[in-house]
Chains A and B, each alone.
Chain A
Amino acid sequence: MTWIPEVASNLASKVDGLLILITLLSLVFFILITVVLVYFAIKYRRKREDEETPYITGNEPLEIIWTVIPSILLIILFVYGYVVFKDMRTPPEDALEVTVEGKQWLWTFDYYNGKKTINELYVQHNRPVRLVMEAPDVLHSFFVPAFRVKQDLVPGRYTQLWFTPTKIGTFDIFCAEYCGTGHSAMLGKVIVLSPEAYEIWEKGVKADEGAGVASLPPAELGEKIYKEKGCNACHSVDGSVLVGPSFKGIFGHAAVMQDGSSVNVDENYIKQSIIEPQAHVVKGFQPVMPSFKGILSDEEVTALVAYIKTLK
């Protein structure tokens, strides 16, 4: 990988200009200090114990030079940083609005036409997008490295962020503000579609899930959903305990609930746990799971059930 990450938004190249300028200035000063330090340490190394040294206590012109020159450079960096920042904070009027909710530990996106997605943000190539973001629980931070944008989500207020995607493809979303146990699993993708593909997606057909995906066997589709819709942030498939119970070997066995009752883990229990998670909470876990009602279709729930069955 190169040292500068992929450039995929209108803001990225502006930020990179600043990053490169600071890097160059830093290198100049770093090399200057290092060379002088090493040169002096070698050249003036003590050769005899009784060496005489000159009595030099300072040099005013030098003090002025090395105060004034860095000050001027610092002001330039400040202004440059501010100018790009101003751009980042001023969304164009025609930007398409998407409402973002970040909660422990997944992202949901609500679009103008009533569509709703989890952990996948669909946007159109070269069309500005403004995200209006909120968090119901704790702080989160929406971060897309390829776009060079980041903004915290703060309970009790809306925050916003905008960008114009300039590259078709799929880019990582990270949660950058520590939000608890599942923080490092609070990942998503921005999917930048061509105008044609976006139009198809807008009308309801999932652009990335064409005929190929629909024909997947249910268990494989379930595995795909498990990874893409954020189930994996809280539920492992190898028996390790994360935020929620592991899926490994649960199907067909009885589980003890918080109220001491015992429930058999079957198709109905799994479906209920997805749609109405607080109905029966397994003993030892917190009632924190969000409902996936209206987010996952019946077919997708069925596929998840099929997948869980395979985890012996």
Chain B
Amino acid sequence: MANHTIAHNVYVPFLEKKGILSWILSTDHKRIGIMYLISISFFFLVAGVFALLLRYELLTPASDFVQPHTYNVLFTLHGSIMVFFFIVPGLAASFGNFLIPLMIGAPDVAFPKLNLGSYWIYLLGTVIVLIALAKPADTGWTFYTPYSATTDTDVVLITFGVFVLGFSSILTGLNFIVTIHKMRAPGMTWHRLPLFIWASYATAVLQLLATPVVGITLLLLITERTLGVGFFDPAKGGDPVLFQNFFWFYSHPAVYIMIIPAMGVISEIIPVFARKPIFGYKAIAYSSLGIAFISFLVWAHHMFTSGISDLAATIFSFLTFLVAIPTAIKVFNWTATLYKGSIHLHSAMLYALAFVFLFTIGGLTGLFLGALAADIHLHDTYFVVAHMHYVMIGGTVMGFFGALHFWYPKWFGRMFNETVAKIAWFLIFIGFNVTFFPQFFMGIQGMPRRYATYPAEFESLMALSTYGSWILGLGIFIMTINLIAGLINGEKAPQNPYGSLSLEWQVPSPPPLENFEEIPHVTDWTYGYGKKK
């Protein structure tokens, strides 16, 4: 374990300086992390409101709350804002920024100015997309051609915004890769690294290699729309399916950009609250890299009905089953970590356990979609909607909420109300399942997704799903208020309230500006819980 740093300088917490300039010009990774955290949380809540509105429309079969066009705009905005503004930057940009230097014993990331630049680029992207809301697109977040090339809504501006955002993602990935390679404290070998670092590393590689492809794809779409070049228009010799190949070549790895950091978070929370070393460290660490690698080779499993060749479909189905193996290994290892532990059900731990439970459902329902003949029936139905929300909310968002509750005392130096946090967790857990579990049944029955109106036989399940969204919304509302209230009048947090052995907990809460008085010398791995001294 790391040697404790001895304070011989005056402790200045990184939050000490005030004023807007101390934020927008700050190259401190902890402040940049906070700026990302506020931005992504804001977009999470905005896109969440769109979700509540579209679920409200689906309370009855007819389109009686909004017109079909407005409904189509709502799901487009919900999807694209959630994906590109919240969940892709998500944990990596917020908690990754805050934690990576602290966890590896570094004073900052490798390129602090580039880090600030990445945030500015993110902001620029959001501004462009906000302007695009004047005539919002109705294409769905996938922007499939030829519809996206022909609709008279503003596709160019929103895709350009996403294009700009991509640079933020690429540069952040680059920064983290170099940081993890070059900035580890003496003695912090690869196999002593916290698993969140392994996860961040795998994510950063994906960001760096996959994001340029979506950038190019969106640029081609913009060129087709503005200059009339026929990349995807068959009348001009293009191919609409080419767009899908390009799009998913990025967007499937992007699924893992979204989920792998959350897996890293879970691997940090569970050992601390079980007081046990993580079970199968190397299996979890290398499975992150394994998932990252295979994730580049499964994109066409989104396209089994699109008209691709049978041979291609078969190969992609096989590779999709391969990616299930490292994922299953992680779930088994997290569960085994609890064995003979001393388990404290803190709110952060509850989110971690909810992750394992819900992500298991998300993963298992993925098997239905990987199996060729079953996917033919289930593709583009509510089954897919339910599956992806079990992975994205049940997985990533639970990981995000877990991270919020876990590192909150460290980041802000204050505590939140734990009882209220548990109540909010319970509402979120129940609300989420009531919203999305019925959708599996609707999907198997054949209910297509992206329908503004629907056949009457689905009304009761649809209504149940809408009621669930209200419980879920209430839970998230209570959680948000609780966390904001803690910032204002929460108790002062101790340095290490949960008895974690990781480096970030060995500095004061909130951490000092320079992170460590002296760069620590690491002598053991991060998970030595229960190890006899």
User: Out of B68, B324, B332, B530, which one reaches A242, CB within 8 Å?
Assistant: B68
Shortest Cβ distance from B326 into A: residue: A67
Q: Which residues of B contact A154 (CB under 8 A)?
A: 240-241, 306-307
Shortest Cβ distance from B338 into A: residue: A40
- Asked whether, in the complex, the Cβ of A63 is within 8 Å of the Cβ of B376, the reply is no
Q: Which stretch from A180-188, A191-199, A248-256, A291-299 is at the chain B interface?
A: A180-188
**Contact of A85 with B325 at beta-carbon distance under 8 Å, contacts A58-B280, A241-B67 already known:** no
- Residue A44, interface by CB 8 Å: yes
**Contact of A44 with B356 at beta-carbon distance under 8 Å, contacts A148-B376, A156-B240 already known:** no
- Residue A204, interface by CB 8 Å: no
Shortest Cβ distance from B334 into A: residue: A37
Q: Which stretch from B114-122, B257-265, B310-318, B392-400 is at the chain A interface?
A: B310-318
Q: Which residues of B contact A87 (CB under 8 A)?
A: 373
- Asked whether, in the complex, the Cβ of B325 is within 8 Å of the Cβ of A78, the reply is no
| Segment 126-149 of A: residues with Cβ below 8 Å from B | 137-139, 141, 143, 145-146, 148-149
- Residue B27, interface by CB 8 Å: no
Q: Which stretch from A49-57, A117-125, A262-270 is at the chain B interface?
A: A49-57
Shortest Cβ distance from B356 into A: residue: A37
- Asked whether, in the complex, the Cβ of A75 is within 8 Å of the Cβ of B445, the reply is no
Q: Which residues of A contact B276 (CB under 8 A)?
A: 53-54, 56
Minimum CB–CB distance from A156 to chain B (whole Å) comes to: 2
Shortest Cβ distance from A147 into B: residue: B377
User: Out of A30, A62, A77, A175, which one reaches B321, CB within 8 Å?
Assistant: A77
- Asked whether, in the complex, the Cβ of B342 is within 8 Å of the Cβ of A51, the reply is yes
User: Out of B343, B380, B451, which one reaches A141, CB within 8 Å?
Assistant: B380
- Residue A174, interface by CB 8 Å: yes
**Contact of A184 with B374 at beta-carbon distance under 8 Å, contacts A37-B356, A177-B380 already known:** no
- Asked whether, in the complex, the Cβ of A240 is within 8 Å of the Cβ of B380, the reply is no
Q: Which residues of B contact A57 (CB under 8 A)?
A: 277-281, 527
Minimum CB–CB distance from B136 to chain A (whole Å) comes to: 13
| Segment 294-334 of B: residues with Cβ below 8 Å from A | 305-307, 310, 313-314, 317-318, 321-322, 324-325, 328-329, 331-333
Shortest Cβ distance from A19 into B: residue: B374
In the bound assembly, the distance between CA atoms of A87 and B376 in angstroms comes to 12
- Residue A279, interface by CB 8 Å: no
Q: Which stretch from B9-17, B82-90, B168-176, B359-367 is at the chain A interface?
A: B359-367
- Asked whether, in the complex, the Cβ of B356 is within 8 Å of the Cβ of A26, the reply is no
Q: Which residues of A contact B53 (CB under 8 A)?
A: none
Q: Which stretch from A1-9, A91-99, A107-115, A220-228 is at the chain B interface?
A: A1-9
- Residue B340, interface by CB 8 Å: yes
Q: Which residues of A contact B467 (CB under 8 A)?
A: none
Interface string of B439-477 (1 = CB under 8 A from A): 001001110111111110100000000000000000000
- Residue B344, interface by CB 8 Å: yes
Interface string of A70-110 (1 = CB under 8 A from B): 11001101101111111111000000000000000000000
Q: Which stretch from B38-46, B94-102, B146-154, B507-515 is at the chain A interface?
A: B146-154
- Residue B283, interface by CB 8 Å: yes
Shortest Cβ distance from B328 into A: residue: A70
Minimum CB–CB distance from A296 to chain B (whole Å) comes to: 24
- Residue B234, interface by CB 8 Å: yes
- Asked whether, in the complex, the Cβ of A22 is within 8 Å of the Cβ of B367, the reply is yes
- Asked whether, in the complex, the Cβ of B240 is within 8 Å of the Cβ of A139, the reply is yes
Q: Which residues of B contact A85 (CB under 8 A)?
A: 310, 313-314, 317, 372-373, 376
**Contact of A172 with B455 at beta-carbon distance under 8 Å, contacts A33-B331, A56-B279, A156-B234 already known:** yes
In the bound assembly, the distance between CA atoms of A184 and B61 in angstroms comes to 11
Shortest Cβ distance from A149 into B: residue: B376
- Residue B517, interface by CB 8 Å: no
- Asked whether, in the complex, the Cβ of B343 is within 8 Å of the Cβ of A46, the reply is yes
- Residue B140, interface by CB 8 Å: yes
In the bound assembly, the distance between CA atoms of A56 and B341 in angstroms comes to 10
- Asked whether, in the complex, the Cβ of B451 is within 8 Å of the Cβ of A155, the reply is no
Q: Which residues of A contact B441 (CB under 8 A)?
A: 3
* Number of interchain pairs (Cβ within 8 Å): 268
Q: Which residues of A contact B457 (CB under 8 A)?
A: 1
- Asked whether, in the complex, the Cβ of B234 is within 8 Å of the Cβ of A157, the reply is yes
- Asked whether, in the complex, the Cβ of A143 is within 8 Å of the Cβ of B234, the reply is no
**Contact of A1 with B367 at beta-carbon distance under 8 Å, contacts A58-B283, A155-B240 already known:** no
- Asked whether, in the complex, the Cβ of A176 is within 8 Å of the Cβ of B381, the reply is yes
In the bound assembly, the distance between CA atoms of A18 and B378 in angstroms comes to 12
- Asked whether, in the complex, the Cβ of B280 is within 8 Å of the Cβ of A63, the reply is yes
- Asked whether, in the complex, the Cβ of A55 is within 8 Å of the Cβ of B531, the reply is yes
- Asked whether, in the complex, the Cβ of B374 is within 8 Å of the Cβ of A18, the reply is yes
- Asked whether, in the complex, the Cβ of A82 is within 8 Å of the Cβ of B317, the reply is yes
- Asked whether, in the complex, the Cβ of B328 is within 8 Å of the Cβ of A180, the reply is no
User: Out of A33, A46, A149, A159, which one reaches B357, CB within 8 Å?
Assistant: A33
- Residue A273, interface by CB 8 Å: no
Shortest Cβ distance from A174 into B: residue: B448
- Asked whether, in the complex, the Cβ of A139 is within 8 Å of the Cβ of B69, the reply is no
In the bound assembly, the distance between CA atoms of A257 and B306 in angstroms comes to 39
Minimum CB–CB distance from A53 to chain B (whole Å) comes to: 4
In the bound assembly, the distance between CA atoms of A89 and B322 in angstroms comes to 24
- Residue B336, interface by CB 8 Å: yes
Minimum CB–CB distance from A304 to chain B (whole Å) comes to: 22
- Residue B239, interface by CB 8 Å: yes
- Residue A167, interface by CB 8 Å: no
Minimum CB–CB distance from B498 to chain A (whole Å) comes to: 11
- Asked whether, in the complex, the Cβ of A71 is within 8 Å of the Cβ of B338, the reply is no
**Contact of A155 with B305 at beta-carbon distance under 8 Å, contacts A46-B344, A84-B373 already known:** no
Interface string of A1-39 (1 = CB under 8 A from B): 101110000000011001100100110011001101100
- Residue A235, interface by CB 8 Å: no
Q: Which residues of A contact B139 (CB under 8 A)?
A: 178
Shortest Cβ distance from A155 into B: residue: B234
Minimum CB–CB distance from B332 to chain A (whole Å) comes to: 5
- Asked whether, in the complex, the Cβ of A22 is within 8 Å of the Cβ of B380, the reply is no
**Contact of A175 with B448 at beta-carbon distance under 8 Å, contacts A150-B376, A181-B69 already known:** yes
Shortest Cβ distance from B325 into A: residue: A71
Q: Which residues of A contact B63 (CB under 8 A)?
A: 240
Q: Which residues of B contact A137 (CB under 8 A)?
A: 146, 150
Interface string of B139-179 (1 = CB under 8 A from A): 11000101100111000000000000000000000000000
- Residue B205, interface by CB 8 Å: no
- Asked whether, in the complex, the Cβ of B275 is within 8 Å of the Cβ of A53, the reply is yes
In the bound assembly, the distance between CA atoms of A83 and B345 in angstroms comes to 46
| Segment 44-91 of B: residues with Cβ below 8 Å from A | 63, 67-69, 72
- Asked whether, in the complex, the Cβ of B72 is within 8 Å of the Cβ of A180, the reply is yes
**Contact of A19 with B377 at beta-carbon distance under 8 Å, contacts A58-B279, A62-B336 already known:** yes
Top 7 A-B pairs, shortest CB-CB distance = A156-B234, A145-B446, A81-B371, A84-B373, A85-B372, A184-B451, A40-B338
User: 5 other contacts beyond A41-B345, A66-B329, A180-B147, with CB at 8 A cut-off?
Assistant: A18-B371, A26-B368, A51-B342, A56-B339, A74-B325
Q: List 24 A-B residue pairs with CB atoms under 8 Å apart, sorted by A's residue number.
A: A5-B444, A5-B446, A18-B374, A33-B356, A37-B353, A40-B339, A46-B343, A53-B274, A54-B276, A54-B530, A57-B278, A57-B279, A58-B279, A58-B283, A58-B333, A138-B147, A139-B240, A148-B373, A150-B379, A154-B307, A156-B240, A157-B307, A184-B450, A185-B453
Which residues of A come within 8 Å of B, CB atoms?
1, 3-5, 14-15, 18-19, 22, 25-26, 29-30, 33-34, 36-37, 40-41, 44-46, 51-59, 62-63, 66-67, 70-71, 74-75, 77-78, 80-89, 137-139, 141, 143, 145-146, 148-152, 154-157, 159, 172, 174-185, 240-242, 286
